[in-house]
Amino acid sequence: MSANNVKQPQKNLPTGVKGALVGAGASCLVLKAGSGYGWMLRPPGAVAEDDFLKKCLRCGRCAHVCPYDAVKMGKLSDGLAIGTPFIVPREMPCYLCSDLPCVKACPSGALDPELKDPLKTRMGTAVISEREECLSIKGLRCEVCYRACPVIDKAITVENYLNVETGRHAIFEPVVHKKDCTGCGICEKACVLERPAIVVQPLQPPTESWYES
Amino acid sequence: MKVNRWTTGRRCVQILMLLLLATPAFGWTFFEGNLGAAAIVGLQLSDPLAALQILLLTGTLTATMLSGTAIVVVFYGLFGGRVFCGWVCPVHLITDLVDLLPWPKRLSSWSLEWKTTALIVTVIMTVILGIPVFETVSPIGTTARALTFGVSSSLIIIVLIVIAELVLVRRVWCRSLCPLGGFYYQLGRFSPLVVAYDTAKCSHCGECRRVCFVPEVLAPSLKSQRNMVHSGECTRCGACVGICPEKALGFALRNPFER
Ligand code: SF4
Ligand code: SF4
Ligand code: SF4
Ligand code: SF4
């Protein structure tokens, strides 16, 4: 190792405090600046987002045990969510493992250990977000999302009605029932369109208006 | 050059720790997590500073975290708090290697006491921001995540540390800035395992102080003829023990409450 003639440290705590405060302020800015992202689909059992951000240790154990590598970890650009786990269904949805290894692995309770039945998972809820694009609603017999859903006939049903445009065909529209939807995102992954017409969204809308100061 | 057995041994342990942190990426399952919380063949471990942040934020701790923290506190309490820094932490390995580069860097040192300030600031920010700040932005967690989830923008903090240490102040992160180092410093003040001198053999050549990254801890003991390094800053890395030409240094046990 190279030469080392370190001076005896001076007790300059006031400067130290100043430096630390500047550093703290700067990191607050970085964190705050990136935190406007909005919503992330958390792994099964995740407690409410506010609590989740407090409880999650950013340890990555949920991601390490996920057999599908469905759980990703937040990066610098994810602001306050740096290091927290989330799922991007279009890349890899949650396949609702029967033993929920992610929940079992979580040491902090950020993924609620009370969740034992994967079909009771409520990560979010699927929504048909682009009715105009959905092939089924256009009158074709797609229904791929319906067939992919692990809670088929409960979370998604197919409702048929007369196609008023042709006047003689039926439309078989996939309809999501959020009471039974786990938010796993398998439907979002399965949608045949380039940009999925069905996506997982937060289960509860924000209680306060974003436009209120 | 003489082989410093302690440093070589420590380097092996550091690299093994790095590999351990990377094992989930190979699909091996006996280890999961990072240095904030982990399970090694089912044994739950949890970093006390991580637990402290969660406790402050939520007012409770899971049984898993309580027991995991207890094991870690007892372990580092016995072997010397900053033994974590010297032997386990991946960032210390990185900065150890950076320190080997023949790069012109300012030798003036920043105070070791800043770490405690950093620790306090971390705790305050945790409460203000409502997130466990150290677990979120620490270079330690960031490195561990990069090992298993791939390189990401978060690694900027490692780049900043390396640049700072190359051009600004040597070892500035581990010596003066790391809140976790500050935490383990406090723990290490009461550890029984310490570096001890045989004052009769010491020729005051100063070799030990040249290899130590916190040489402040050796100086007072040398001067005052005390025969133990009592400071919690000592990482028990053993570099001084390995380098001493007179074999005047070694590890010993002390009564932690006797100074
Ligand atoms: S339930 Fe299975 S697939 Fe879904 S996130 Fe957990 S481990 Fe991954
Ligand atoms: S296992 Fe739990 S604490 Fe760890 S990253 Fe996943 S949700 Fe967070
Ligand atoms: S997210 Fe889609 S696939 Fe999963 S349960 Fe809900 S409707 Fe079914
Ligand atoms: S898979 Fe896509 S296009 Fe097909 S019915 Fe479902 S939402 Fe519509």
What DSSP line would sit under A4-52, residue for residue?
--PPPPP--HHHHHHHHHHHHHHHHHHHHHTGGG----PPTTBPPHHHH
Residue B194: per-residue pLDDT: 87
Residue B107: per-residue pLDDT: 59
Residue B106: per-residue pLDDT: 64
d(CA B121, CA B194): 29
Chain A 82-101, residues with CB within 8 Å of chain B CB atoms: 82-83
d(CA B221, CA A76): 44
Distance between start and end Cα atoms, chain A = 57
| Helix locations, chain A, DSSP H | 13-33, 49-55, 61-65, 101-105, 135-138, 144-148, 186-190
CB contact under 8 A, B121 and A4: no
Residue B105: per-residue pLDDT: 66
**Residues whose CB falls within 8 Å of the CB of residue B79, separated by 6 or more in sequence, listed in order:** B191, B193, B236
Residue A84: name the closest of A116, A27, A43 by CA. Answer: A43
Q: Is the pLDDT of residue A14 over 70?
A: no
The pTM (predicted TM-score) of the whole model is 0.86
Q: How many beta carbons lie within 10 A of that of residue B150, not counting itself?
A: 11
- Ligand 2 atom having least distance to the Cα of B37: 4
Residue B66: per-residue pLDDT: 94
pLDDT digits (tens, 9 = 90+) for A135-185: 999 999 999 999 999 999 999 999 999 989 888 899 999 999 988 999 999
Q: Does A68 touch chain B (CB under 8 A)?
A: no
Residue A33: per-residue pLDDT: 46
Residue A54 has its nearest CB partner, among B46, B57, B125, at B57
d(CA A200, CA A4): 58
Amino acid present at B121: V
Residue A118: name the closest of A35, A43, A24, A208 by CA. Answer: A43
pLDDT digits (tens, 9 = 90+) for A91-129: 999 999 999 999 999 999 999 999 999 999 999 999 999
CA distances from B109 to A3, A18, B189 (A): 13, 17, 22
Residue A190: per-residue pLDDT: 96
Q: Which residue's CA is the closest to the ligand 4 atom numbered 5? A: A143
d(CA B248, CA B242): 10
d(CA B87, CA B12): 9
Q: Does A3 touch chain B (CB under 8 A)?
A: yes
Residue that wins the pLDDT comparison between A208 and B169: B169
Q: Is the pLDDT of residue A6 over 60?
A: no
Residue A4 has its nearest CB partner, among B68, B100, B215, at B215
In chain B (259 residues long), the average pLDDT of successive 10-residue segments reads: 83 94 90 91 92 93 93 91 92 90 70 88 90 91 92 88 86 90 90 86 85 81 68 89 88 76
Q: Which two tokens stand for residue B67?
A: 């027991």
Residue B239: name the closest of A187, A186, A1 by CA. Answer: A1
Residue B22: per-residue pLDDT: 93
**Could you write out the DSSP letters of every residue in B121-174?**
HHHHHHHHHTS-HHHHH-HHHHHHHHHHH---GGGHHHHHHHHIIIIIBTTHII
Residue B84: per-residue pLDDT: 93
pLDDT digits (tens, 9 = 90+) for A29-86: 555 544 444 688 999 999 988 889 999 999 999 999 999 999 999 888 777 788 999 9
Kindly list the residues from chain A whose CB atom is less than 8 angstroms away from the CB atom of residue B37.
Answer: 57, 59, 61, 107-108
Residue B226: per-residue pLDDT: 63
Kindly list the residues from chain A whose CB atom is less than 8 angstroms away from the CB atom of residue B68.
Answer: 107
**Ligand 4: distance of its center to the CA of A36 in Å?**
30
Q: How many alpha carbons fall within 13 Å on the CB side of residue B256?
A: 14
Phi-psi region of A45 (alpha: psi -120 to 50; beta: other; left: phi over 0): left
